[in-house]
């Protein structure tokens, strides 16, 4: 169990957790002389304290597992929010967007394309390994779910949660992509063409769902305004035989300033000039956009 450092135990160069405003900041003791201690955090802040005024609950030594970063945060010795966030930060800097917490996968949206991360070679590699044997990946979770269907002979469920823009919709697409590939692989060559339309229908349904249920928000340019329950049906041979998508938790249609409602209805009014929109004072138009919304401004350029 980690303990707090007394002011006398602090030395220059130490890697520590500095407690500021109820959060732990990863820091380095950049200077400790003349009765003054200077802490430089990994996030760019600098804090200066008189050594004899430091509270004994202010500084905690950093375990080496937090210094290096780990693939599975269940193995972290420092157990607080700051250690979790710092570990995700370290891995993100290394272009590693996936990290385990036991059997849970934490994903950080990279907001860029990562070549090779989701190609066929990646799918084949993760299909040959159990969860935790190689680098964390969403394909590893999908593969574990697929394997457990036959190992446990029970229905399986993957729950994807996160804030707006975290990548929930894209993660769902990637899981469907992997399961579709495994479904095709399980079939004899002669049967693959007949079954391929099922997988294609599942994968190609996402843009349609997004057209009806996505909109721009201040946090996300393509935010899903509803939840989805995706159900797949597998045969005893391991191929997908069917599935369904049920929408749920539809968000309140009231559109706050700087946000739009639904994506598909927007093009219906694109032929109108700005003056015509205001002259008609249509309830339909007011539902789509707020006057100060950037979506409104872009629609009539």
Mean pLDDT, each 10-residue run in order, the chain (301 residues) = 71 93 93 92 93 84 92 93 95 95 94 92 95 96 93 91 86 92 72 60 75 72 77 87 78 55 50 58 50 45 37
Question: Tokens for 259?
Answer: 């946000």
* Residue among 263, 245, 160 nearest 205 (CA): 245
- Per-residue pLDDT at 67: 92
pTM for the whole thing? 0.78
- 183 marked as part of a ligand binding site: no
d(CA 59, CA 5): 6
- 169 marked as part of a ligand binding site: yes
Strand partners, 24: 19
- Per-residue pLDDT at 201: 77
| 114 Cβ contact partners less than 8 Å away, ≥ 6 residues apart | 95, 97
- 102 marked as part of a ligand binding site: no
- Per-residue pLDDT at 272: 55
Do the two domains 7-62 and 67-248 of this chain adopt the same fold?
no
- Per-residue pLDDT at 296: 42
- Give the domain ranges of the chain: 7-62, 67-248, 253-301
Could you tell me the CA-to-CA distances from 66 to 15, 25, 69, 153, 215 in Å, in that order? Answer: 10, 12, 5, 39, 39
Residue 196: what are its φ and ψ, rounded to 5°?
-65, -30
> For residue 257, how far is the Cα from the chain centroid?
26
- 242 marked as part of a ligand binding site: no
- 107 marked as part of a ligand binding site: no
- Per-residue pLDDT at 119: 94
- Per-residue pLDDT at 144: 95
The answer to whether 294 and 258 are in contact (CB under 8 A) is yes
Handedness of CA 7, 12, 17, 18 (dihedral sign): positive
* Residue among 86, 107, 83 nearest 97 (CA): 107
- 165 marked as part of a ligand binding site: yes
Question: Tokens for 35?
Answer: 């009765």
The fold for domain 67-248 equals Kinesin (3.40.850)
**Cα-atom radius of gyration of the chain, to the nearest Å?**
25
d(CA 137, CA 177): 14
- 162 marked as part of a ligand binding site: yes
d(CA 18, CA 3): 13
- 168 marked as part of a ligand binding site: yes
- Per-residue pLDDT at 10: 86
- Per-residue pLDDT at 215: 73
- Per-residue pLDDT at 1: 45
Considering the domain 7-62 in this protein, what is its CATH number?
A: 2.30.30.140
């Amino acid at each position: 169990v980690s303990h707090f450092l007394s002011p006398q135990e602090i030395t220059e160069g130490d890697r520590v957790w500095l407690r500021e405003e109820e959060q732990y900041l990863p820091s380095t003791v950049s200077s400790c002389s003349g009765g003054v201690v200077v802490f430089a955090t990994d996030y760019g802040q600098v804090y200066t304290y008189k050594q004899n005024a430091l509270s004994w609950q202010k500084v905690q030594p950093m375990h080496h597992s937090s210094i290096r970063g780990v693939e599975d945060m269940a193995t972290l010795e420092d157990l607080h929010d700051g250690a979790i966030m710092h570990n995700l930060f370290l891995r993100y800097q290394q272009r590693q967007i996936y990290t385990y917490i036991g059997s849970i996968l934490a994903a950080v949206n990279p907001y860029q394309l990562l070549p090779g991360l989701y190609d066929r070679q990646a799918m084949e590699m993760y299909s040959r390994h159990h969860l935790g044997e190689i680098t964390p990946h969403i394909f590893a979770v999908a593969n574990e779910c697929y394997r457990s269907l036959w190992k446990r002979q029970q229905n399986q469920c993957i729950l994807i949660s996160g804030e707006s823009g975290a990548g929930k919709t894209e993660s769902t697409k990637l899981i469907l992509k992997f399961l579709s590939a495994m479904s095709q692989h399980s079939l004899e060559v002669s049967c693959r063409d007949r079954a391929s339309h099922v997988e294609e229908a599942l994968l190609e349904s996402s843009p349609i769902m997004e057209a009806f249920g996505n909109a721009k928000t201040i946090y996300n340019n393509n935010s899903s305004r509803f939840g989805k329950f995706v159900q797949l049906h597998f045969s005893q041979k391991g191929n997908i035989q069917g599935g369904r998508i049920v929408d749920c938790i539809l968000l309140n249609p009231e559109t706050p300033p700087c946000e739009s409602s639904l994506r598909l209805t927007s093009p219906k009014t694109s032929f109108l000039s700005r003056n015509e929109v205001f002259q008609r004072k249509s309830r339909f138009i007011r539902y789509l956009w707020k006057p100060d919304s950037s979506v409104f401004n872009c629609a009539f350029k």
